Every structure is written in C-alpha cells, then in structure tokens.
Structure 1
C-alpha cells in the first residue's frame, strides 16, 4: 500500500548548488525516485540526465569524466552530449543513435541549481523562477545554508506554511502568526502574515511574505527584527521522502560582526523549529478529509493549488478509497532525541 494518495509532483526543484558541480566534473544524484548524473561542461553549462549508460548500464556519476561538452562513460568510453545523444564510441567508426539518455532542463538562479522534472519527458518548463534583485544589490549578505532530509512527502511540508496554530504547540511560541492573505495564480502562491517577535528589548511587530513558484521553490521575506531573505527548496527524493535546503540572506546592519551574529541567531531559530516539525511530519498520517477548526489556515485552498502539480492520474494512491494514509512503523525513530523532541513534549503537554 502506498503511504500517500499522490505521486511525485512536477516543477522546478533544486538538485545541487553551482559549487557542488564545479569545473568540468560529474556528480551522482538521486531525486524523483531515479538515479541522475549532473555534469558541467567546459564552457560552464550545467547538464542533468538519467545516470545509466544505455550501452551496458554503467553509472555516469561514478567515474564519468567530462571532455569539452561531452560526458564519457567510465566503463567503455562512450560519449554523450548535453542532449543525451551518443556522439562517439572510441572503438567503433559509428555511433548508436538509439542509445539516447533522457536529459532534464536546468536553471541556475539565486544560488541554486534547479532541474525541471515532469514524468512526461515531452513536457518542458511551464514557468520560470526569477532572479532576485536583492542578491545583486549588495544590501544583503549570505548565504547561510541548512539542509535536511525528511521522511515525508513534500506536500506535507508545504502544508505547514498555512498552519499557524501549530507554532504555539510544536514550537512553544507565545505569539502565533496571523495569516492576512493567501492568493494563488497558476503555479504561484502568495501568502502574507504578521507575527510579533519577542526580543530582549521587547516585542517587535514583524511581517512575513512568502511567494511560492510551484511546489519546489519559495521566496520568504522576513521583516521586523532584521530584514531576512530566505530562498527555500523542497525536492522529492522519492514518493515518501524529500530534501529541504534553506539559503538565508540578511540585510547588512553596517557592521559585519553584528550582521553575522544576528543572522546566525535567526538561522538557528528557524532551523530549531524545522527540527521540531520533523518528528510530526514523519509520524503523522495523511488525512484526505481532515476535521478542521473554523479558525484553521487555508489548508484546502493550499491542497487545491498543490494538486495541479500531479500529472499522473494513475499515481500511487489512484483508486484508493482510504481517507487515512498512515506512515510506516519505524522503531528506530520512536525514541525522541533532545534535538528533535517537540516543544509540547518538552513543556509537559504531550
């Protein structure tokens, strides 16, 4: 039985950073429940394709080398160009035009290397992720990066964004964010909220503006304590797990040490809250018809928006009439560690 009633979504997803595939090099990856290879040709263009050589199945990310604008298989030296076409067999005078490898469109923007994934290789990108002017203005410094793997579907993590009430019980915050607007337009989702941040100098009124570009990339702007730009990515590893990457940029406060200290404190707090959410995501069931309170966030509006990114009508949950999809039983995850214990447990409410 499938854990979730939906498949892997399509869209732009981060698979690495530009620095992780630098120079004329190749890197093995695993996302979207498939083996991939990322490689950068000598002019500097990033390529991502299925990993296995169609000759005899060698993994191009393990020992493959880049020569000019081609990647060479480590097993028999077959070469492929950026379109996945076989362009050379060193011990033959002919190439094999049937030996094609699926390639994926790439986009490198805002410090992230993105791949367009769709289960149908004929469906190309349907929207763009724009470059952020703040990152070129010199007003913001960074990034400070964090990265986590979560044993849950990417949609479960996304639902957290519209769930203001959990901040009080999972993160023990005295003030709960108030969602002031939630609007969608095709692949874009725009959410605004306000929150009061307690500080040693008193409570500071803050604003949070979150703009999602499909299911894989969000731009979050925090104002109040210090202006912070958070570029987030959530990438499916397979149908039951995903990877998140947070890149934090902080508006310069004039002094590099002060800016760094404030930024590190803010990052530590956001990362702490993320770790508190992880045991909830990994052990919760997915309910197709949740019993919501009248003051809960726009859950169903979010799900309706997210559902458009499922292309497969015969996905893992198709035809399944269950309304509750429980997680696997993971005995090794039953014992909470201090870093991942929820605030409710730490404060005696669960």
Structure 2
C-alpha cells in the first residue's frame, strides 16, 4: 500500500522571474529637505538615472544624462532655475526644455529632454513613473496627512534600506502576512483584516509587544497596545497612522513605508516616523518619541531585509487560511504593471478578509511562556 506521504506529489516552486517593467504610480524619493542644498542629486531608479534639482517653482526631475553629448547632469550646477551640464554648459529647465547654450547663436528646436512629473507632499518628494508616459490624475494622488501643513506633527525621523537581489513585490506581500509580525516584528497581532479596493490596499492590525524580547526592540513593553491602519496608495507608498497605548497614555504616530525600484532586482526603502505634537509637549520630546519608534521599526525592517535578500521568488506559495489573501493582494498589485486599458475588474474590485487569530495567538502565548521560563532558569 502506498502511504499518503509518498502518493502526494512534491510541490515545486514556480517563478516566472522578476518583471522588467516598473510599476505605474507615484514613488517617494525621500524628504524634500535633502534635495534643497543648492546641488543637483542623482537618483538611480526605474532602471535608469534621473536628476533632482531645486528651482523657484519647487523641485524638478529630469533624465540624468544630457541630450547633447551624454554627460551626467548630476555633476553639473544649478544656475538660476536651470541645470547646467558640466561638459558644455547646456542649460536645462525643469520642463525639460533647453534654456540656453552660452557658446551657441541659437538653441536647436529639438533641444528637449524628459521631464518627470513631481509632487511635494507631507514633506516628501514624489516622482510619477508610467511606461505609457501618462500624466497623474487626482484619482490616484497621494493624500495629505491631516494636520501636516499646520505643524501638528514632529519632524520625520527617517531611515533608508537598500535591498539587493529582490523585487518590490516581496515588500508589498507584507500587507497580508499576519504571522510574520510575531516572528520578525516581535508582536502579537491579535486582530488582522485586509481591504483592497481601487488603487488602495489596507491592513488593519491590533497588536501587543512580546514580553520575551529585548525592550529596545519593543513598541513600548508588555502592557502596550498598538492600533495600526496601513494603506498603500498605489504600488509603493504606504501611510500608516498608529495609536500606541502605553501606561494609560496614548502616543499618536504616523509611519511612512515607501520604496522605489532601482532595477528589476533591487529597490530602496524610504521610511519614517512622525509623532503628533500634543499641547505643552516640547518639540524635542515629540521627536525623541519618533526616534524611539523608528529604532524599533528599523530592527524589524532589518529582519525583513535579510529575509528578502536570501529568499526565492515564489509565484505559487503554499498557504494556510491564516496566511491571508496573498493571491488577491498580488492580483491587486498587477494593475500597476499593465497598461491602463488592460486593467481588469478583479484587479480593482473590493476584497475584504479578516483572519481568525485565536489559534495563532494561543500557540504563541505558550511559546512566549516557555521562553520566559527558560530565561529565568538560565
């Protein structure tokens, strides 16, 4: 008689490889202030090189290499509202038009380079990418964080991570991955729900810190309670309002979790934390809380990054019901990798899934109790 273990075929990992196309949407390049130093900045993204420079009308983004003889414009200088090439001093305006060639009698009619749509919001710089060269619409814009323009939040406590050898999809998968929050981010996710609709994918989570870990890597200790609502607006930018209950006090924070692709197998993570300023609270104290939360998040992201760097791309993950709507999320994510006219209804229709966490939390509590007992006996 053949046993069930031998009659069940071995499941093979399937992978079509990383897409060579880059997602359509707004991508955060970092904080506005980092580009306002009077110098051009080279950014490697979307399989190419772009250059960011400041003008009287705000930050502008152009293709990174001069259309004259190919010099790197990031090595040039800002002259007025134009970016001057270091090779022959051709001047390029933020709209992509050549504004002057000092040694030439006239500017050629064809003297134009690509200008990328940009937006400054929430203290951050965004660039729009679309292989079809479309212009962004209000329907897919990045929302403003309530109270940001009114100074109700601390400055951003900002961090970056370079992830090589992996595609951006690995990061987006975390939206539905309830279980990894216990093993990687060291919390009990005792409530977990996902909602996808249109260009927005949201994760609702309530969690508590684990008492068997280093307090420096904890959100606030064993008695803390974190309520989180994290939404991707498009393929790469997440706004995550959080309420942390610690010792009878509430700390209100907002996390930005964003990334942009460098090429098909590497991406850069930009994330930061700001805390809401409370009446009578010193701004430095608010920033200190944000720095503390960022330190905790940095630990978790560092754990994620190490896993992404070494894992295999898998298009047919073997799942349990507690693993969440992975396939539905990936179908939602596909809308950003096809032409607009090829977006299908099931990519944007509403999907809502709540995970039953009772069994998982019960198992994890027993594991934590065993860990604490072992620590006391050591």
Same fold by TM-score greater than 0.5: yes
Q: Provide the residue aligned with 2:315 in structure 1.
A: 288
Partner of residue 124 from structure 2, selected from 112, 115, 120: 112
Tell me if structure 1 keeps the 8 A contact 2:272–2:294.
Answer: no
Deviates more, 1:238-247 or 1:258-267: 258-267
Q: Provide the residue aligned with 1:19 in structure 2.
A: 33
Q: Provide the residue aligned with 1:128 in structure 2.
A: 141
3-state DSSP of counterpart to 2:157: strand
3-state DSSP of counterpart to 2:224: strand
Give the Å deviation of 1:161.
Answer: 2.2
Tell me if structure 2 keeps the 8 A contact 1:233–1:245.
Answer: yes
Separation (CA, whole Å) in 2 of partners of 1:77 and 1:267: 42
1:169 is the counterpart of 2:183? yes
Over 3 Å counting, the alpha-carbon distance change for 1:27 and 1:264 in structure 2 is closer
3-state DSSP of counterpart to 1:221: strand
Tell me if structure 1 keeps the 8 A contact 2:157–2:287.
Answer: no
Give the Å deviation of 1:113.
Answer: 0.6
Q: Count matched residues.
A: 311
3-state DSSP of counterpart to 2:306: helix
Based on CA coordinates, which of the two structures has the bigger radius of gyration? 2
Give the Å deviation of 1:24.
Answer: 4.5
Partner of residue 237 from structure 2, selected from 210, 214, 217: 217
Partner of residue 296 from structure 2, selected from 264, 269, 286: 269
Give the Å deviation of 1:290.
Answer: 1.1
Tell me if structure 2 keeps the 8 A contact 1:48–1:106.
Answer: yes
Q: Provide the residue aligned with 2:255 in structure 1.
A: 230
Partner of residue 307 from structure 1, selected from 334, 341, 351: 334
Separation (CA, whole Å) in 2 of partners of 1:57 and 1:23: 25
Tell me if structure 2 keeps the 8 A contact 1:184–1:305.
Answer: yes
Map residues 236-247 of structure 1 onto 2, 5 A cutoff. 236-247=261-272
For structure 1, the residue ranges without an aligned partner over 5 or more in a row are 314-345
Give the Å deviation of 1:90.
Answer: 1.9
Over 3 Å counting, the alpha-carbon distance change for 1:125 and 1:267 in structure 2 is same
Give the Å deviation of 1:220.
Answer: 0.2
Map residues 1-350 of structure 1 onto 2, 5 A cutoff. 3-5=17-19, 7-22=21-36, 24-41=38-55, 43-62=56-75, 64-121=76-133, 123-126=134-137, 127-151=140-164, 152-173=166-187, 175-180=188-193, 182-197=194-209, 202-225=222-245, 226-252=251-277, 254-256=280-282, 258-311=285-338
Give the Å deviation of 1:23.
Answer: 5.5
Over 3 Å counting, the alpha-carbon distance change for 1:190 and 1:98 in structure 2 is same
Separation (CA, whole Å) in 2 of partners of 1:201 and 1:16: 31
Separation (CA, whole Å) in 2 of partners of 1:6 and 1:85: 29
Listed one character per residue, the Cα deviations across residues 121-180 of structure 1 (whole Å, up to 9, x for unaligned) are 2x111421122123234443221111111122111111112101012233444x135313
Tell me if structure 2 keeps the 8 A contact 1:148–1:243.
Answer: yes
Give the Å deviation of 1:48.
Answer: 0.4
3-state DSSP of counterpart to 2:273: strand
Give the Å deviation of 1:242.
Answer: 0.8
Listed one character per residue, the Cα deviations across residues 233-286 of structure 1 (whole Å, up to 9, x for unaligned) are 211111111111112111335443654443333221111011011111111112
3-state DSSP of counterpart to 1:270: helix
* TM-score, normalising length: structure 1: 0.81
Tell me if structure 1 keeps the 8 A contact 2:209–2:221.
Answer: no
Tell me if structure 2 keeps the 8 A contact 1:178–1:193.
Answer: yes
> What is the root-mean-square deviation in Å for CA atoms of aligned residues?
2.6
Give the Å deviation of 1:49.
Answer: 0.9
